[in-house]
Amino acid sequence: MGKPPRFEQAGSRQRNPLPSSIFVERLTTMGIHSLPLTVLLLAGVSQAAPLNVATATSASVKEPMAEVVYRQLLREGEIPDLAAACADADLFGINARLEELRDRLMVIAPPPQPFDVVMANARALMVCRAPDSTQTVLARFGPAPGRQRRDWLLLSWQAASAAFDHSRASLALRRLANGNLTALDFEQLTVGYGEDGLPLTRSALDLLVEHEISQGRSSEAVIVLLAGRARGTLGARRLALAAELLQDLGSDQHSTMLESALDQAAADQAWGLAEDLLRLQLKLELKAGGDGSRPRRRLERLATRLDDRYTLWQLIRADSDQQEAATLLEQELRSPLQPGGHAAVGVSPDSLAPSESK
């Protein structure tokens, strides 16, 4: 199996300096507000010439916060001020300040504290590139079900991902799914920021797959992949990765996984996915030296019920006993807009028992 795909870490360093206004906006989206510190940042810029609003932003990119301002903030600043100071220190690569700010953030709000304070403290530590300390602060509060638990789990995942703690990151996403892995396919998580400061997002399902692969848990990764409902290019990539991972497992194990995925696809009436799974099952069986007769019959039966003539043509075109039928289907497929053509929009059957889709 090839090297597992890597994904961007939420804590990856931004290579190009961003204006302080972008950092303030980013902190605001994280729930950290700090108007006083914005004033301090502007005050900390070189006073060689009077600054107006237009020049303050460009000047703030060139110089870090003045030492005297930083020292006062370190002693007297609140969590939002410390968070923005972390952003400033990180922007200019001042590691000594990052360490001092991390230490201050760990003691600024000793437990017990309300949920909002704990979360602001933890987020500030993430800005300070201290994901392990973020987890320590999060552990000080047990979130209630609902929005609190969701926000807590997302931040826990972000910290674990930044620390390359794949076990904890996987656990956070599974708890977020709450037993429904398919739900992760509709959950878009921020994995970094572009040079313009805008967030980059990815499906939580794909992220969970990568965490499992990084731990060498191929079977768990396959189960997650087969829980996805995406079609098109993304769905094809997932099935290709699942096929690659399944080849490393025993035939009994991958057969069980595919049967379970087929049952779920039938229950969800995800007929296109069911066909894709049967194609994958046929491919694996043929590669293992089998004749593929069982998955072929099942795929043919399902394609017939769906009036999927293109799939039927693919299945029978190599059969010398069905050349006449294959020729007729090929002629129909040459006019894709006709009823039953491969570009026609069909209607799924009202019901198909899982046993019939096998």
Q: Which domain-ending residue is among 214, 249, 268?
A: 214
Instruction: Please indicate, yes or no, whether residues 209 and 224 belong to a single structural domain of this protein.
Output: no
Instruction: Please indicate, yes or no, whether residues 208 and 259 belong to a single structural domain of this protein.
Output: no
Instruction: Please indicate, yes or no, whether residues 77 and 129 belong to a single structural domain of this protein.
Output: yes
Residue 57 within any structural domain of the chain: yes
Instruction: Please indicate, yes or no, whether residues 165 and 66 belong to a single structural domain of this protein.
Output: yes
Q: How far is Cα 229 from Cα 182, in angstroms, rounded to an integer? A: 7
User: For position 16, what pLDDT does the model report?
Assistant: 40
pTM score over 0.85 = no
Instruction: Please indicate, yes or no, whether residues 206 and 224 belong to a single structural domain of this protein.
Output: no
Instruction: Please indicate, yes or no, whether residues 47 and 193 belong to a single structural domain of this protein.
Output: yes
Instruction: Please indicate, yes or no, whether residues 252 and 187 belong to a single structural domain of this protein.
Output: no
User: For position 59, what pLDDT does the model report?
Assistant: 43
Instruction: Please indicate, yes or no, whether residues 157 and 226 belong to a single structural domain of this protein.
Output: no
- The per-residue pLDDT for range 196-236, each reduced to its tens digit, is 989 999 999 999 999 999 999 999 999 999 999 888 888 88
User: For position 325, what pLDDT does the model report?
Assistant: 63
User: For position 6, what pLDDT does the model report?
Assistant: 38
What is the domain extent for residue 166? 20-214
How many residues in total does the chain contain?
358
Residue 7 within any structural domain of the chain: no
User: For position 153, what pLDDT does the model report?
Assistant: 98
User: For position 246, what pLDDT does the model report?
Assistant: 86
Residue 5 within any structural domain of the chain: no
Instruction: Please indicate, yes or no, whether residues 130 and 200 belong to a single structural domain of this protein.
Output: yes
> How many domains, the chain?
2
User: For position 357, what pLDDT does the model report?
Assistant: 41
Instruction: Please indicate, yes or no, whether residues 245 and 267 belong to a single structural domain of this protein.
Output: yes
User: For position 43, what pLDDT does the model report?
Assistant: 37
Residues of the chain with pLDDT under 70: 1-61, 251, 318-358
User: For position 319, what pLDDT does the model report?
Assistant: 67
SS (H, E, C) the chain: CCCCCCCCCCCCCCCCCCCHHHHHHHHHHCCCCCHHHHHHHHHCCCCCCCCCHHHHHHHHHHCCCCHHHHHHHHHHCCHHHHHHHHHHHHHCCCHHHHHHHHHHHHHCCCCCCCHHHHHHHHHHHHHCCCHHHHHHHHCCCCCCCCHHHHHHHHHHHHHHHHCCCHHHHHHHHHHHHCCCHHHHHHCEEEEEECCCCCEEEEEHHHHHHHHHHHCCCHHHHHHHHHCCCCCHHHHHHHHHHHHHHHCCCCHHHHHHHHHHHHHHHHHCCCHHHHHHHHHHHHHHHHHCCCCCHHHHHHHHHHHHHHCCHHHHHHHHCCCHHHHHHHHHHHHHHCCCCCCCCCCCCCCCCCCCCHHHHC
Instruction: Please indicate, yes or no, whether residues 123 and 109 belong to a single structural domain of this protein.
Output: yes
